[in-house]
Structure formats: C-alpha cells, structure tokens
Amino acid sequence: MSPPAVPVAIVGAGPAGLTAATLLAQYGVESLVLDRWDGVYPQPRAVHLDGEVRRIVERLGIGAEFDAISRPASGLRLVDPNRRVLAQFDRDPSGGRNGFPEANLFDQPELEALLRANLDRYPAVTLRGNAEVTAVTEELHCVRVEFTDRTSGAVASVRADYVLGCDGANSLVRAAIGARMRNLRFEQRWLVVDIATTVELGQWDGVHQVCDPRRAATYMRIGRTRYRWEFRLRPGETVADYRDLSGLWPLLSPWFDGKDCESVELVRVAEYTFRAQLADRWRRGRVFLLGDAAHLTPPFIGQGMGAGMRDAANLSWKLAGVLHGDLPANLLDTYEVERKPHARAMIRLAKLTGLTMTEGGELGNRLRRLIAPRLQSIPGLTRTAASGESPPLRRSALVVAPPLRRGLSGRLVPNGLLPDRQRIDDVIAGRYAVVTLADPLPGDRTIVEQRGGVVLRPAPHTELYRWLRRAGLTAVLVRPDGSVQSGGRSPSALCTSIPRFTPSSVPAAGGRPHLSRSFDA
C-alpha cells in the first residue's frame, strides 16, 4: 500500500515548526508535524523575543496569552565588572514601531505550551509526538518521510509535497539534503542558571550585560519570580563545579545585595557552548531548513529562537500560495535568498556583542570604560538600538527595488494604530496590500480586491503616512508577511501588479475567511 499523503510534513515541533504549521493552517494548508518527544521540552532555553517576532506571535492568534506569561524589558545596560553602568539603551515597554514591546522576556516551555494548545483551533494540523524521523527521501513528485513510533517501535512513512526541517542543531533533515554547517568562528562555553525566588532583587528591569574578560555575564528578570543568569566559564571549569546553590552563590550573591539564599530555588543549571554557524544551503528540491537546522546564533542579542519564527513567517505564505496555485513554484527560491543574509547579519551582530563583552583583557576594560559612555552620543545609534527594526530583506523576485536606491523595499511596514483602533497587521492580515497616499482609481481598487488584496490609504499625520512621506514614496506594495515588496509614485502601477492571492485561501486566526475590502486609515 502507498503511504498516506499530506501537503506539508514538518519535522520538529519547536517554535519554528509550530509557527510554520499554524501559519500554513491559517491559509488552509494541511500539515503533519512529527516530533521525537511526546510533549514540550521542560527545560527553559530561549527567554527573549523582539517586537518583530512579537508581531508573528500576534499573527498566530496567541498575543493576549503570550502577554500573560511574558515581561516587557526596559532595554539593555552595558555594565563593568563592578556593575557600574557604562551605557544604557532604553526601550519603551509600551511598544514602538512594531506595536508591541521591543524586548519581551518569557519562559520557553510556557510559550511552546501555548503554541501546541493553539493547534486545537486548526484541524488542518496533525501533531504526532514520540515519532522519530529516520529518513527523508526525495522522490519524483514528492518527498517520503520515514519515522518510528518510539513507544511501540512501529515503523511508518508519509508522502509530502514539501518537507520543512525544523529539527534543531543536529538536524537529520539537513544531513538528508547534503547541507553542512559552516563555522563563523565563534565558540564560547557558558554556564546558564535559572532560579525562582520571591525575593525582590531591586535591579533595573532590563537586560544587564557584564563586560568583563575575566567573567562576562548576563542577567535578566524573565518573570514575576523567575530570573536568568549566564556566566562565561573559565578554562578548566565545568558545570560540575556549579551543581548546587552553594557552588553558585559566589556568582549570584552580588546581585542579591546582601540577601541570603534561603528562599532561592535552583530551577536549572546547565553548560552550553555558544556557537555561530550557518548552513551552506537551506533547500534542496522540495525540502527546506528552518530554525536551528539552518543557523545557530550566539544568544547575546536574544535572536536565536526568533530567527526560526522569522523563517516560518517568510516561507509559509509563499508555500501556501504555491500549493493553492496562486504563485509560481520558482518563488520558493526567494526564501533562502531573503532569509540567509538576514540571519548572517544578526549572527554577526551577536558575535560583535559577545566579543565586546568578553575580549581584550584589562586593556579591553579600559577601552570600554572610555568608549561605552559615548555610544549614546553617536547620531542615530540610540534610536536604532531602541527601534527594534532589523535589517531589510535582500533583493529577490519578491523584494523589488531600483538598482541604486532601496527605499522601503524589504522592510517591515510599521504596525501602528489606525483611527478605528485596529493595527495595520490586523487589516493586512496575511494578504497583499497596497498602501497609498493618493486615491487609487476605482478600477484599481477593484483589481486589488478581485485578487484578494486590500487597499490602505493612511490619513495625514498618522505614523504610516509619515513613514511613506519620509521615504519620498506615494505607495508601496506590502506582502502577506508585512514586508514591502516594492514602492513607487504610482499607486495604479502597484495595484495592477499585485499577484492573485485569493481571500478564500487566507482564513483568519479563528478559521473564518477574511472579507476583501478597502480601508481608509
């Protein structure tokens, strides 16, 4: 008998895999998610996501639930070995250009539990735990995925039109397509400590980066009673030296300012090797890599988990469009073209931050004391650090810009409030949109609506209006993932170039199709 068939098989039920499955389901695409574990991995790992990734969380339909388990951070402090402030970059906890706080701290198992529970709203997704994938083989018009039930030992397989490898740093899918991780020359051993306590530490409510070659460290409060520290291990040290609170207390006590450790619970202590790596290829045929299977980012800027969710947001709408026949299959090539340079840029920034914290010996400490306080006087640096805007996507068939001027192409549209109190993302809602300062012709509106899109005309003095005016543009074409595909001075040209992306294939988070209509905002 032939194995059962499914449009998309997803290997791995971490944040990247669950995000991809949910977004595909919102477009009416069925998927089978296979994970070797029965439930959520219980240990805390990632603790931060930025405002852009928070927008993806909102798209998934769990924004309010995430806010209930997360804590907005006030920004970033660089401090010296005695915890004296060298520089501080504030972020508004009430939100910025992305419409949500630009630094969100949380417990990863709680987020993954929300992502799994949210799948109950989408019958198009089947999640199968205790299923260890053993082989991924490309066939003529499909991909065969073989897996073993870890409970019964039964062997099974499924045929899929496409396979997404979201199976982590030791990815079997990556090996199956012949991809290899390229070392970006960063490797450090760190001790990660999570504690729970009702003691109020009285520390500033943001992320602290201790710049000290002798013992670099990171501190953050991630919940009402939860805290995270990371300490760089010295040569010869291992996690065995810090198995209990008595061994850890010399590292933790300075943050407690004389308070004792009687009411402190050690949740976890683990050793991690922070690496910077990038897969040399992210796709072969019908198989794609996402998340840690494609890239590993040192944690200094909190972008590791979020990068995988960005991968899913970039690929899912394209894959849905191809499967529904709305987009040509060759547009799937834009996934790696766009996401790989973006991931590389974020890895480089994380490396630079880590090296700034940890290198240079006593001379490095002196230079940091001299230079860091002056960083905030560099024009635009503080604004850039606080804005939460990541680099634009690289030019591709879906990011179109003039040869010598990028403009807004590849950038995320701001997610400000409209007069009716809706956010821009809520109006675009996974569709194509033409945002224009000029009234489009009635026929142009009709074309956009017939092709499943929406026309958005921002009112003067709104954030969206100012954003377009600053760029010297009259209109932009915004993709279903919120990125600008192209811009220009003629809304008619953009309206007539919009691809068909039918509303019937774009259900809302609750499962109802969006109505195609225009908005004056």
pTM of the model: 0.93
pLDDT of 374 > 70? The answer is no
Query: At residue 133, does pLDDT exceed 70?
Result: yes
DSSP string across 102-121 = SEEE--HHHHHHHHHHHGGG
DSSP string, 221-263: E-SSSEEEEEEEPPTT--GGGGSSHHHHHHHHHHHHTT--STT
- Reported as a pLDDT band with limits 50, 70 and 90, residue 515 is very low
Residues 6+ apart with CB under 8 A from 363: none
Q: What percent of the chain has pLDDT over 90?
A: 72
Name the pLDDT band for 109 (thresholds 50, 70, 90).
very high
Tell me which H or E stretch contains 487. Answer: strand 484-488
Task: Name the residue among 128, 126, 162, 455 with its Cα closest to residue 320.
Answer: 162
Digit-coded pLDDT (tens) for 116-125:
999 999 999 9
Question: Which among 108, 152, 109 is positioned nearest to 128, based on CA atoms?
Answer: 152
Mean pLDDT of 187-214: 92
pLDDT recorded at residue 73: 92
Residue 518: predicted pLDDT: 40
Domains and CATH numbers, the chain: 5-47+107-180+280-352 (3.50.50.60), 183-275 (3.30.9.10), 411-497 (3.40.30)
DSSP string, 441-458: PHHHHHHHHHTT-EEEEP
Most confident range, picked from 253-262, 405-414, 443-452: 443-452
Tell me which long-range contacts 368-376 makes (C-beta under 8 A, separation of at least 24): 368/78, 368/80, 368/86, 368/211, 369/80, 369/86, 372/78, 372/86, 372/87, 372/211, 373/86, 373/87, 375/87, 376/87, 376/88, 376/89
pLDDT confidence band for 514 (50 / 70 / 90): very low
Average pLDDT over residues 345-354: 88
What's the pLDDT tens digit per position in 6-30?
Answer: 999 999 999 999 999 999 999 999 9
Range list of H helices, 359-413? 361-371, 381-387
Q: Is the pLDDT of residue 379 over 60?
A: no
Per the structure block, which two tokens stand in for 327?
């987009």
- Residue 354 has what pLDDT? 82
Tell me the C-alpha distance between 292 and 247, whole Å. Answer: 32
The residues, ordered by sequence, that sit 6+ positions from 122 with a Cβ below 8 Å of its Cβ are: 21, 22, 25, 26, 511
Q: How confident is the model at residue 1 (pLDDT cuts 50, 70, 90)?
A: low
Question: Residues 3-12: pLDDT tens digits?
Answer: 899 999 999 9
Report pLDDT for 95: 79
- pLDDT-based confidence at residue 509 (cuts at 50, 70, 90): very low
| Higher pLDDT among residues 370 and 320, named by residue | 320
pLDDT confidence of residue 52: 95
pLDDT exceeds cutoff 60 at 155: yes
Q: What percent of the chain has pLDDT over 70?
A: 90
Given a contact cutoff of 8 angstroms between Cβ atoms, the answer to whether 158 and 5 are in contact is yes
User: If you average pLDDT over residues 201-210, what whole number do you get?
Assistant: 92
pLDDT: which is higher, 70 or 386: 70
Q: What is the pLDDT of residue 376?
A: 58
Please report the pLDDT score of residue 512 as a whole number.
38
Give the dihedral of Cα atoms 440, 316, 314, 19; nearest 10 deg. Answer: 120
Strand order of the β-sheet with 264-279 is 85-90, 75-79, 207-210, 217-221, 226-232, 181-197, 264-279, 295-296
**Looking at the predicted structure, is the pLDDT value of residue 377 above 60?**
no
pLDDT at 48 over 90: yes
Number of other CB atoms surrounding residue 116 within 10 Å: 17
Mean pLDDT value across residues 144-172: 97
Residue 511 has pLDDT above 50, yes or no: no
Exposed (0-12), middle (13-18) or buried (19+): which is 313, by Cβ within 10 Å? Answer: buried
- Per the listing, tokens 């003629």 go with 490
The answer, yes or no, to whether residue 482 has pLDDT greater than 90, is yes
Nearest one of 195, 197, 15, 46 to 112, comparing CA atoms:
15
The predicted structure's pLDDT at residue 356: 75
Return phi, psi of residue 355, to 5°: -65, -35
Average pLDDT, the chain: 89
Rounded CA gap, 460 and 462, in Å?
Answer: 6
- The yes-or-no verdict on residue 483 having pLDDT over 50 is yes
The mean pLDDT value for 409-426 works out to: 90
For the chain, what is the radius of gyration of the CA atoms?
Answer: 24
Query: 437 pLDDT band (50/70/90 cuts)?
Result: very high
In this prediction, residues 316-334 reach a mean pLDDT of 96
- pLDDT at position 519 is 40
Pairwise pLDDT comparison (351 vs 60), residue with the higher score? 60
More confident residue, 216 or 358: 216
Instruction: Summarize the confidence of residues 290-318 as an average pLDDT.
Output: 95
